[in-house]
Structure formats: structure tokens, C-alpha cells
Amino acid sequence: MLKDYTIANIITPLIECGIGIIRISGNEAFMIIDKIFKAYSSTYLKKESHKVYLGTIHNENGDKLDEVLVLLMRGPNSFTGEDTVEIHCHGNPFILQEAMKVILKNGARKSEAGEFTRRAFLNGKLDLTQSEAILDTITANNQKALTISLNQLEGSLKNKIGALKEDLIGIIAYLEATIDFPDDEIEESYTNDVINTRIEKLLDEINKLLASYNTGRIIKEGIMTVMIGRPNVGKSSLLNSLLNENRAIITHLPGTTRDAIEEQINIGDLVLNIVDTAGFRETEDIIEKIGIKKTYEYIDIAQLIIFLVDATLGLTVEDQLMLEYLRKLEKNYIIVMNKVDLINIEDIETSDDIIFISAKHRTGLDNLKNDIKKLFIKDEIEDYCISNLRYYESLVKAKSALDMFQESIKSQIVPADLLAIDLKDAYIALATITGDDFTEDLLDNIFSKFCIGK
Amino acid sequence: MNFIDNYQIIVIGGGHSGTEAAYASAKLGMSTLLLTISLDSIGLMPCNPSIGGPAKSHLVFEIDALGGLMGKIADRTSIQKKILNRSKGPAVYALRAQINRFLYSREIIKELENLPNLDIVQGEAKDILTNEKGELIGISLATGLNYGAKSIILATGTYLSSKVIIGDFVKESGPNELSNSKYLASSLHKLGIMTHPFKTGTPPRIHMDSLAIDDMEIQPGDSKDYTFGFEEVGGCLPQVDCYLTHTSEKTKKIIEDNIDKSPLYSGIITGVGPRYCPSIEDKIIRFPEKLSHHLFIEPEGHDVKEVYLQGFSTSLPGDVQIQMVQSIKGLEAAKIMKLGYAIEYEVINATELKLTLESKKVPNLYFAGQINGTSGYEEAAAQGLIAGLNAVLKLKGEEPVILGRSDGYIGVLIDDLVTKGTEEPYRMFTSRAEYRLLLRQSNADRRLTKLGYDIGLISEERYAIFRNKMTSIDLEVERLKDLTVDSTNAIVKEMIIKSNSSDLEQNIKAAALIKRPEISYLDIANIYPPELIISEREAEEVELLIKYEGYIKKQIDQVENFSKGEKKMIPDWLDDYRVIKGLTREAIEKLNEVKPLSIGQASRISGITPADIQVLLIYLEQIKRLETNNVQG
């Protein structure tokens, strides 16, 4: 049973380091990698086993995530004994998680603790002496996993998911009650319109939870922050000012993407992984051009862009072009006007979304920090952050089932028994987070809500 | 031990479960004895005079598809037929028949009396006899007669140590004033099979002529000729109407004022009753904001004055029942012929059984019907058929019949009972079936008739007709997928306009056109008729196979995933899970109790976690490897 799903996971520690590896194992491994990987060389098409291919991986919108090495290993000649793909990415947790997301979207299931090893065992890749040890590990893992999951579920997240399930099963109970008890008086309080509105509300809630996944992840792994601005605008002094007060663990990270990460800074609960960039300006210099190209690449993967402007110069033409570029992206950015100590602030037309600082004199830094916090920590979702990819995955499943349901109900032609299929799928997806029995929940709900019976 | 006679199979109980079991057994050539407390009450319908409805009709179609009795007898004796859930989708269309319950019983008796290999005896079973090795050898009757048997099927219904309760009146009795089964429960206890009480109830019966039917809403049938049975032989009895009426606020007040006299509330009744079939007093107390509850008047036959008051099950004292009934609109002058009552009876815990319905403790002892904790004629009949077949197959040394959750409602029913057990009388609902779009009543034959034929319950002639039907459905679906509809054809254009459908911009495949909700199979078949005209039922199936193709495919994919776990079998020798290192104590207890056949079944046991399943899988793999190594070594 377990063997038949294709599973995937990040198999290197989720910290910033030179390289991060994702392994996909199972019948569909090759199919999945085909969907997300663009090889530079056409020899990839031959899919030779135990060969390494260079290329890029992409998210579902086709945006490039990273340049990677892909290893193909055909079963049974792999660790698990199944068709296996390993993707060697740059060791950036953000990129790895994004890559995982697109892999899961394409049909893989996130592996459970020890599952690759277990498959290796079940497929005869490990010998019997090793298996006892595995058995022990698995048992231990379960107890640990149980504790972890209980801890995670305690409190508001559990309540939140519980409330969503409650709402959903109310609707299912209505549909099912009208089907299973056609003679009974089921209050017709749920017209299609009412159901639709309630599903929309549910989808809103699920979307909020999904969004909180990013917050949760951000708190855990830090925000990819890119500082941009013209040369000499004061990027380094701002960095130093922030560092003086908030120095976080500094790790010098090798690797191409990581080259640019200079520092990590704590702001409250948040960690900024700061990438400093070459100053941008019109240039003929080839090296500078490359630097500027890189700047744009960083902006592409950034979660926060701090855009520094020199207050003594105001918005230059280059600044304005950059600003227009930023506005088109759906990304968080903050415009910071530096060197306000050198001008008379009243001379400048102020605007709410510009923060005035003097990096040199360390003024205005608190405003900057507060703005960053405001961007990433939203009070309403702080209570129930999703930081676990498995929950995220379940919520995505629930969401896509509800999306299907909405399409069906809008068409006005799909009968109740089929509508219920999508709602049931959504419920079961939510129930995998909390672990409940659908049929029992449903019957309880029907019998407590509707007066039924011969 | 002196036996009067020796049989291969003895069935105890002549209700809906026992009769299916005895029928299947005798039909397959086993010497069979059907033992019943009352010969005249074989096939009795002691509660509602109807068969079918959502999920229940699915069961009846499946029983018929396998070659069982219920469907064809219900067809023969129906006095009203209705298709429910027409608007709610193809998975849940359900046929319901009002039945002349006297004729139903009569027809069942006729079928059985004329069956070779079957003896029918009136008497009460007292003891299940085993030899010194604990093997089953026969039964003894209360009268002292003994009969030898290789296998026994227990189908005691609501008769096991049962008592009828009306107010504070309690009587040791089966339903309808029939004797109960007094001794058998303690015989089971001696074999180590424990029992506990369940409860159900029935409403009062009223004389038709005392009703003011003009004050009620008439409820006619709509599908006289629609049959449960594949052979499509409908009944020829006159059709009757049912009537809808409502309780009044006065009814509510009478019940509230007398609730202390209810045995449910006074503590006389301890058994667990079904939530889906509450008594009227339960409904009033649990839903106080509801001022009126609707009720159906259902005739018990076309030539019978006794009518059934559906929705008004009660165990309040007789005088209160009379007041209550007379407070209902149209029943002001009602004359009660039989009081409503509650009945408590003993059931076993079905997790004691294998998926074949054979006891795990006592080989060759089978349990079927209400004794397993179900309610309903259809649920009982389905189990009776399966228990009967498996008893036969085991004696013949053949593979058992175990239907999966994706094979039929029968599979869902038995898997639920045996894997999870039940805490209240179990009734089948369509929502219990995960793959209900695949388990339509319309394709019960496709799902099960080959199996019925292989076993021997389906005749050659019927099997040939069945295969023709399948072929013509399949060919017609194929034809419509290939057939191009000419968008310029004037008749086509006219049909499109008449159906309020959008214009065809270009030629389109017929199947694609039928997928439009407003276009029916007949719209197309009228313009492009098939070479051989297909029957109405076949056309219905063709249409839904095309219209719901996408959803059907989705469910087939789900089933494929699901069946992987079902095919991973747990070996027989694993009967004590304590040997598995790493299982929790709770998991060990549950697994030891249920003894699942497959990993899939194990995963459905309540309280068994995915982690337990992984530990189990690894253990099994380990053992397999050890065995292979030993063989090689």
C-alpha cells in the first residue's frame, strides 16, 4: 500500500548551506521531474539511469526557482529500490520548500519520517539485521511524531480546523440527509445560494490559513530580504546600523545564490536573511552589468525588498524606473529614504509609504523595523500559523476540492450525490490534519440536526 | 447423540435473513433444514410494510443480482412503487415498494416449500451442540429433538431473549405476539459468544376505515412497472396510495405530559435504540422547537384494512397511545388495532465474525441479520444470502464470497459490521458507501451477476440475457462516442432549440452532446437510432455512463488506490498480535479482536493509526523474508 504512492522530501537539513537535496521515489518520480525540470542538454530526454543532468526547476507558473543538478536512478538500482530522482538545489530553505510545493502539486506525497528507509527495506535493499533497528526507529518516530503532532494541534490551530470541519460537515449533512431520508422533513435552509456563500467563506478561511503557512515558514526560516539602491546610497551603513543592535548568527555561506547573503538580522520574532546587491545604474561596464542582472534575479526570489533612495538626490530617473518595476511585482517592498540628516526634511513632500532614516545617525530605524513586522506578521493569523508542510498540503487538497465543488454548483446541473463527492474529499483532507472518521462525524451531525426517522 | 436427521446446513430463523440463507443453501444442493418458531410467520414483515428506499433498494438490487429471493418476491407482492431521489443524482436513485405483507410472507413460503433439499420445521432451538473437541455437530430443540449439522446459520432476528414493552407492561415475547427464543442466548454464552441488548420499536396499526383520508395529502406511486428483479416481472396486484398527515401541538402536549410513563425515560428499557428510527416521544423531546412532525399512512396490503403509521413508533402506555393517535389530523376517530411497542432483544458483537459471517470462535457457526446488530429487512436479507453462500462454499471446499466496499453495499455493510462493530442498530445509508457512484442500483447486475452465476444461483438463461444486456449497453456507449452529430441537420437544429441548448457551431460527437444537461439520450437516439433498439433500463444506464463519465472515472481512480490495501492480505496464522514488537497495547487489543483479513481492513478499525499499519507491514515483510531465506537455506 505504502509503496504505491510516489513520495518526496527534502533529505538534507533545512538550514542554509551549500546544497539541499530533494528526493522523489516511486512510479511517478520521472513523470514528476519532467513537469518541473528543464534540462540544458537534450541528452536528458534519454533518461539514462545514474546520470546527472544540469538545468532549472520551475514553479507551477513556470517561474524559475533554481539552477539544479538532477540525478535519475531507475529502480531497482536506487536506495529505495524504486525509480528515484534527486534534485540538488542550492541550500536555501525557501527554494527547497518552494520546490517541494510544486513537486507535491504534481502528485507526490510528502514522505513520512523514515519512509525512504522503510521502502528500501520493503524492497529488499536492506538486510534483516538492519530491519530490527528500523523497527525500533519507527516505533520511536511514531511516539515522537505523536507528541509533536499533539503539541502542534493543541490550541488554536486545532480549534480553527475543527471549526472549518464543523461548517463543512453541516453542509454535507444537509445534502446527505436529503438523499438518505427523502421522506423526512429536512429544513430547506440550505439553498444552493446559501451553500455557495458558506463554501466561499470556508475558502476564505482556508486561504488565510494557507497564507499563514508563509508566515509560519518565515518565522521559522527567515525572510529573503534584498537591499537595493543606487551606488553609495548607504546600503552598507544601513546594514551595519541594523547589525549593531540586532546581530544574529552570522554564517558565511558558500554557493552561488548564497554568495550574496551577507547577514542575518533579528527583528522581533523575524529573521531577515539579507542579500546586499550591487548598486544599479546605467552602465557600460560588463562586470557591473552582470551585477545588475543578478540584482534582478535576487528581486525575483526575494520576499522583501528594501529600496534605498538618497534623500539628498531625491528620486532619480533610475530610482523611478526601479520603483515602477517594483510596483508591478506582487512583492513586499519598503522605500527607505536615507541621509535625511543632510537635508531639511520639510522640503520633501512626505508620503506614508516612505520611511526616512539616517543610517549614519541611526534615526528612523524603529519605524523601518515596525513596517517590516507589519508586513509579515498579521495579527489575525498569528494565532494559528501553519508551519507544517503536511498540513499545508492537506489544506491545498481541501481547497482544490472546494474549488471543484464551486464550479459544479455554479453549473447548476450537477446533482447532489456528485456535489457531495467533492465536499467529502475536502472534509477528508481536513480530517487528515485532526484525524477523524468521516462517516461517524456525518451521521452524528445528521441525527443531531435533523429530526429523522420512521 | 441421537439425531432425528442429519443436514449439511441448518438455518435457525425464518425471517428475511434466514430465508435467504436457506434458499441459497438448498438451491446450491446442500441438504438444508430451516427451523422456525412459527411456520406461518416465515418471511414476516413485523414493522413497516415496505421494501427499498435509499441504500436499502441498492441492497435489494444486489441480492437479486446474486440470485437471491427478496427482489423478485417484493416485485410480485408490491402494491405501490416509487422512485426516490430522481433529482438527486444517478448514484442515489432508489426504488421503494409498498408491500402486501401477507402475500409477501405467503410467496416466500411457497418458494421455500417447493425447493428440493430444503426441510422446514417449526420449533425453538435450545442448544448448539458441539463434540468434545468443541466442533459443531448439531442443535437440540426445546422439545428435545436433536438434528445433526455440519454448519449452522443463526438468524434469530429480534427474537433472541426478546421482550416487548408498552408503558410499564413488559412481556417476554417476540414481535407480533410470537414466542421469543428463550434458551439460545445462554447456549451462545457457553460457547464464549457474548450478547448485549438492542432496542427498536414499531408504531400502532390502525383500521383504515376509521381514518379521514380527505384531510390528508395523497401519496401515490409513480413507477408501477419498475422492478428490483433483473427478470423484470412486475406484480399484478392493484396499486394503492399512501397518505401524509401531521402530528399536532396537542400530540406534543400529550406526549410531554406523559413522558414519565415512557419506558425509555423510566429506565425499563436499557438497550440501545437506533438514532435514525426514534420513537415519536424521542422526537418530541429531542426537537422541542418542532411543533409538528409528519407521518405517513401505509397500507399493509391492497385487500387489508390494517394500516401502518410510519413515523409514530412509540412505547407509551396504551391509553396514552390512543389519545396521541387521535390528536393527529385525520385520525381523530382512529381505531387502533395493534398498539405500538418497543422491543428489546439480544445481539452479538459482529466483530466476533469473519468477513464470511462465520464465527471466529466456533468454526462453521454463522450469524446473519439482526443478531449481528443491524436493522431492516434488506440488511438482514443481504447478510443471510452471504452467510448461506459462505456456509455452502466452505463445505464444498471453495473460495468464500467476500464482497469489498467497492463491489457493493453488501460489502460495505459486512465490512462495517465486522471491522468496526456497531453501537446502535445499523442501517445502511448511501453515505456509508465511499464509492457510491459506482454502486448504483442500475449496475448491480454488472457488478455481481457473474459472481452469482459462478456460484450457481443464476441460471444459464438469465446469465445469457445478462451478457446480452451488458453488450448492448457497452456497444451503445461506444456508438455514441463515435457518432458525429451533423450540426447543419435541420432535425438536429430543431432538437437543440427545443431542448433550450446552445447552438452547435460545428459537428460534435453524440456523447459530447449527451453530456449537456439539457440533452437526453433519447433526444439523440430519436434522430440517430441504434441498430437494435435498447430497453428503457438499458437506455437509462447508457445515458448516465456518458453524462457522468468524468465523475465515474474519478471514483474508479479512488477505488484503485483503495484496493491496493485490500489486496495486501494478512496471513491466517497471525492470530495474536502480541508477537509484533512496536504495536501499542490498544492496537494489539483491537487487532486481536477483529483479526482483519487485509491491511486495508486493518486500517479501518477505529483506533488503528497509520503508524500501527506501518509496523504491521514491516513485521509481515520481515516474516516473509525469513521464510524465503529458510526455503533457500
pLDDT, position B264: 82
Q: Residue B32: phi, psi to the nearest 5?
A: -130, 140
Question: In B, residues 593-612, which contact A (CB 8 Å cutoff)?
Answer: 599-600, 606, 609-611
B307: left (phi over 0), alpha (psi -120 to 50) or beta: beta
With respect to residue A219, please indicate whether it lies within any of the assigned structural domains: no
Last-in-domain residue among B552, B584, B602:
B552
With respect to residue B467, please indicate whether it lies within any of the assigned structural domains: yes
Give CA–CA dist B619/A134, Å, rounded: 11
With respect to residue B424, please indicate whether it lies within any of the assigned structural domains: yes
From first CA to last CA, the distance across chain B in angstroms is 51
Task: Tell me which chain B residues have a C-beta less than 8 angstroms from the C-beta of A454.
Answer: 48, 277, 310-311, 313
Residue with cell 474519478: B554
The domain spanning residue A164 has which CATH number? 1.20.120.430
- A235 to chain B, any CB pair closer than 8 A? The answer is no
Does A134 have pLDDT greater than 90?
Answer: no
With respect to residue B293, please indicate whether it lies within any of the assigned structural domains: yes
Q: Residue A332: phi, psi to the nearest 5?
A: -80, 125
How many folded domains does chain B comprise? 4
Q: Is B122 helix (H, G, I), strand (E, B) or coil?
A: strand
Peptide bond into A76 cis (omega under 30): yes
The domain spanning residue B529 has which CATH number? 1.10.10.1800
Last-in-domain residue among B512, B528, B552:
B552
Q: Are residues B45 and B80 in the same domain?
A: yes
With respect to residue B175, please indicate whether it lies within any of the assigned structural domains: yes
Does A76 have pLDDT greater than 70?
Answer: yes
**DSSP for B532-560, written as a single string:** SPPPHHHHHHHHHHHHTHHHHHHHHHHHH
Q: Are residues A245 and A335 in the same domain?
A: yes
Of A135, A421, A442, which is closest to B551 when you measure between CB atoms?
Answer: A421
The domain spanning residue B266 has which CATH number? 2.40.30.260
Q: Residue B96: phi, psi to the nearest 5?
A: -130, 135
Give CA–CA dist B615/B603, Å, rounded: 12
Last-in-domain residue among A327, A353, A381:
A381
List the single residue in B with minimal CA-CA distance to A422: B551
With respect to residue A76, please indicate whether it lies within any of the assigned structural domains: yes
Q: Are residues A288 and A340 in the same domain?
A: yes
Among the ranges given (A336-340, B22-26, B291-295), the one the predictor scored with the smallest mean pLDDT: A336-340
Q: Are residues B287 and B386 in the same domain?
A: no
Q: Are A28 and A108 in contact (CB under 8 A)?
A: yes
Last-in-domain residue among A125, A151, A177:
A151
Last-in-domain residue among B398, B422, B453:
B453
d(CA B218, nearest CA chain A) in Å: 14
With respect to residue A251, please indicate whether it lies within any of the assigned structural domains: yes
pLDDT, position B632: 54
Give CA–CA dist B583/B588, Å, rounded: 6
With respect to residue B560, please indicate whether it lies within any of the assigned structural domains: no
ipTM over 0.95: no
Q: Are residues A375 and A398 in the same domain?
A: no
Q: Are residues A15 and A97 in the same domain?
A: yes
Q: Are residues B494 and B480 in the same domain?
A: yes
The domain spanning residue A145 has which CATH number? 3.30.1360.120
Decide if A176 and B90 are in contact by the 8 Å CB cutoff.
no
d(CA A187, nearest CA chain B) in Å: 11
Decide if B431 and A443 are in contact by the 8 Å CB cutoff.
yes
Structure confidence by residue, pLDDT tens digits, A417-450: 888 888 988 998 888 776 666 777 777 777 777 7
Q: Are A110 and A7 in contact (CB under 8 A)?
A: yes
A378: left (phi over 0), alpha (psi -120 to 50) or beta: beta
Structure confidence by residue, pLDDT tens digits, A15-53: 667 788 999 999 899 999 999 999 998 888 888 888 899
With respect to residue B494, please indicate whether it lies within any of the assigned structural domains: yes
- B547 to chain A, any CB pair closer than 8 A? The answer is no
Q: Are residues B179 and B33 in the same domain?
A: yes
Residue with cell 393517535: B325
pLDDT, position A124: 62
Q: Is B207 helix (H, G, I), strand (E, B) or coil?
A: strand
Task: Specify the pairing of strand A84-91 against strand A17-25.
Answer: antiparallel
Give CA–CA dist A311/B578, Å, rounded: 76
Q: Are residues B448 and B480 in the same domain?
A: no
Structure confidence by residue, pLDDT tens digits, A199-224: 999 999 998 888 777 666 666 567 88
Does A250 have pLDDT greater than 60?
Answer: no
Q: Are residues A43 and A82 in the same domain?
A: yes
Decide if B582 and A454 are in contact by the 8 Å CB cutoff.
no
Give CA–CA dist A55/B515, Å, rounded: 43
Does A145 have pLDDT greater than 70?
Answer: no
Does B350 have pLDDT greater than 80?
Answer: yes
Residue with cell 487485509: B598
Q: Are residues A228 and A372 in the same domain?
A: yes
d(CA B85, nearest CA chain A) in Å: 6
With respect to residue A417, please indicate whether it lies within any of the assigned structural domains: yes
**In the predicted model, what is the mean pLDDT of chain B?**
93
Q: Are residues B304 and B218 in the same domain?
A: yes
Q: Are residues B156 and B29 in the same domain?
A: yes
Q: Are residues A297 and A180 in the same domain?
A: no
With respect to residue B241, please indicate whether it lies within any of the assigned structural domains: yes
Q: Are A104 and A60 in contact (CB under 8 A)?
A: no
Q: Are residues B281 and B367 in the same domain?
A: no
Q: Are residues B300 and B319 in the same domain?
A: yes
**pLDDT grade for B48, boundaries at 50, 70 and 90:** very high
Q: Are residues A142 and A205 in the same domain?
A: no
- A317 to chain B, any CB pair closer than 8 A? The answer is no
Per-residue pLDDT, averaged over A321-338, amounts to 86
* A247 CA to centre of own chain: 26
Handedness of CA A68, A69, A73, A77 (dihedral sign): negative
With respect to residue B335, please indicate whether it lies within any of the assigned structural domains: yes
* A377 CA to centre of own chain: 15
Q: Are residues A6 and A124 in the same domain?
A: yes
Structure confidence by residue, pLDDT tens digits, A353-372: 788 888 888 888 888 888 88
Q: Are residues B423 and B294 in the same domain?
A: no
Q: Are residues B516 and B574 in the same domain?
A: no
For the CA atoms of B418, B420, B424, B426, the dihedral, rounded to the nearest 10 degrees, stands at: -50
For residue A149 the three cell numbers come to: 503532532
Q: Are residues A366 and A377 in the same domain?
A: yes
Structure confidence by residue, pLDDT tens digits, B491-540: 999 999 998 888 888 999 999 999 988 899 999 999 999 988 899 889 99
Give CA–CA dist B269/A258, Å, rounded: 74
Of B276, B432, B554, which is closest to A452 when you measure between CB atoms?
Answer: B276
Q: Residue B343: phi, psi to the nearest 5?
A: -130, 130
The domain spanning residue A329 has which CATH number? 3.40.50.300
Does A388 have pLDDT greater than 80?
Answer: no
The domain spanning residue B585 has which CATH number? 1.10.150.570
Does B633 have pLDDT greater than 70?
Answer: no
Give CA–CA dist B471/B477, Å, rounded: 10
Q: Are residues A15 and A68 in the same domain?
A: yes
Does A261 have pLDDT greater than 60?
Answer: no
The one-letter amino acid code at B221 reads: G
Q: Which domain holds residue A342?
A: 224-267+277-381
* B131 CA to centre of own chain: 35
With respect to residue A358, please indicate whether it lies within any of the assigned structural domains: yes
Residue A335: is it exposed, middle or buried by C-beta count within 10 angstroms (0-12/13-18/19+)? Answer: buried
Q: Is A111 helix (H, G, I), strand (E, B) or coil?
A: coil
List the single residue in B with minimal CA-CA distance to A143: B611
Q: Are residues A230 and A106 in the same domain?
A: no
Task: Tell me which chain A residues have a C-beta less than 8 angstroms from the C-beta of B615.
Answer: 135, 138-139, 142
Task: Tell me which chain A residues have a C-beta less than 8 angstroms from the C-beta of B92.
Answer: 179, 416-417
Last-in-domain residue among A360, A381, A402:
A381
Q: Which domain holds residue B572?
A: 568-632
Q: Are residues B339 and B350 in the same domain?
A: no
- B86 to chain A, any CB pair closer than 8 A? The answer is no
CA distances from B88 to A61, A152, B92 (A): 38, 40, 7
Task: Tell me which chain A residues have a C-beta less than 8 angstroms from the C-beta of B377.
Answer: none
Decide if B88 and A136 are in contact by the 8 Å CB cutoff.
no
Decide if B618 and A138 are in contact by the 8 Å CB cutoff.
yes
pLDDT, position B279: 92
How many folded domains does chain A comprise? 3
